[in-house]
A and B are shown apart, each in its own frame.
Chain A
């Protein structure tokens, strides 16, 4: 009798753990950098501090291909856009860079919801694990 009980408990344990594992797999697809691009968020600090871009949100989330942006809107090379003179909001409003989609119809317009991408000095600090309040201590 005892053995049967033990087996039953063990069985339930196995079953539930199996279900948990399966659940996890179903819920979160593995992030593959070869398909979706670098997982680390990109932070631009020029021309203003600090603007974030996440491949994850755009490729895995919005289901865009690499070709949607590379190499027409953005060069593959990291930090290349930042060096361009025309990497400004004015260019975005004319459909350049992020503005190609962020025009109000495909995605929210570039002149709205500023802080979605502009995470600022505080946001940048938080992202790299620093203290966002550094400047305010007294």
Chain B
């Protein structure tokens, strides 16, 4: 189109809009917004789906058997990092990555004093794992029996999308295998060889980490998570990933 032709055309700026047309457009916008707002604000969508029911699953509603999970008694962690070292040794984790680590936060006690809180973190083996959802080659998947989020390294193309998707920063790219590596609750290194617990749990001197089958009501994890008068929380519940690592303070 030439510049002369362009000048001949009707203007498309706001001056050409009739007030009726504006109203129509606004109405449409309001209707669309209202639809979405109504769904969440006025709870026209089911409350159950909103995940406000709490982080602890209802008794008997565990999708896996054994439903492996970990309870972290956060207050007791002293950052001795024996868990980290045991994990490195057991699972051959290189120095630039980690399968589990300890984070640190500070809480004011008033009067200029602070308290340190150490927070062990690892893969949360989510019931709805964002990493599995984004993997283009199904190199990472949820084990059908145990619910452990596992890696199949030969399938991994190293796109690192799962690393971006993970809400817990629990994945790293392992150069030795040219694949993403992550915690598998020691499935390959220990559980599949008859051991009953992970290396980090075994190494912890303060009994911070407790590992077990959440579907078994005699297991310690079950009893801790379902104990009365206990505050149980998970990390980043808002992502809707339904994690299986629970934090308590007792």
Q: Which residues in A have some Cβ–Cβ distance to B below 8 Å? A: 47-50, 113-116, 118-123, 132, 135-138
Among B76, B78, B101, B173, which residue has its beta carbon within 8 angstroms of that of A135?
B101
Name the residue on A nearest B103 (C-beta): A136
**Which of B75, B80, B172 interacts with A120 by CB under 8 Å?**
B80
> B102 is contacted by which of A114, A122, A138 (Cβ under 8 Å)?
A122
B66-99 interface bits toward A, Cβ cutoff 8 Å, 1 = contact, 0 = none: 0000000001111111101000000000011110
Name the A residues within 8 Å of B97 (CB-CB): 138
A17 to chain B, nearest CB (A): 27
**Min distance, Cβ A112 to any Cβ of chain B, angstroms:** 9
A114 to B79, CA, bound (A): 10
User: B141 near A: Cβ within 8 Å?
Assistant: no
A-B contact count (CB 8 A): 59
Main SS at interface, chain B:
mixed
Closest to B208 in A: A114
Q: How far is the CA of A114 from the CA of B76 in the complex (A)?
A: 7
Contacts of A137 in B (CB 8 A): 96
Tell me if A122 and B104 are in contact (CB < 8 A).
Answer: yes
* Bound CA–CA A120/B82 (angstroms): 11
Does B117 count as interface, using CB distance less than 8 angstroms?
Answer: yes
Most buried by A among B80, B82, B102, B115: B80
B153 within 8 A of A: no
Cβ contacts A to B, 14 pairs, < 8 Å:
A47-B205, A48-B78, A48-B80, A114-B75, A114-B76, A114-B206, A115-B115, A115-B117, A118-B78, A119-B79, A120-B116, A120-B118, A135-B84, A137-B96
A113 and B115 within 8 A (CB)? yes
Which residues on A sit within 8 Å (CB–CB) of B95?
A: 135
**Once the chains are docked, how many angstroms separate the CA of A135 from the CA of B85?**
10
For the complex formed, measure the closest distance between the CB of B56 and the CB atoms of chain A, giving whole angstroms.
Answer: 25
B101 touches A122 (CB 8 A): no
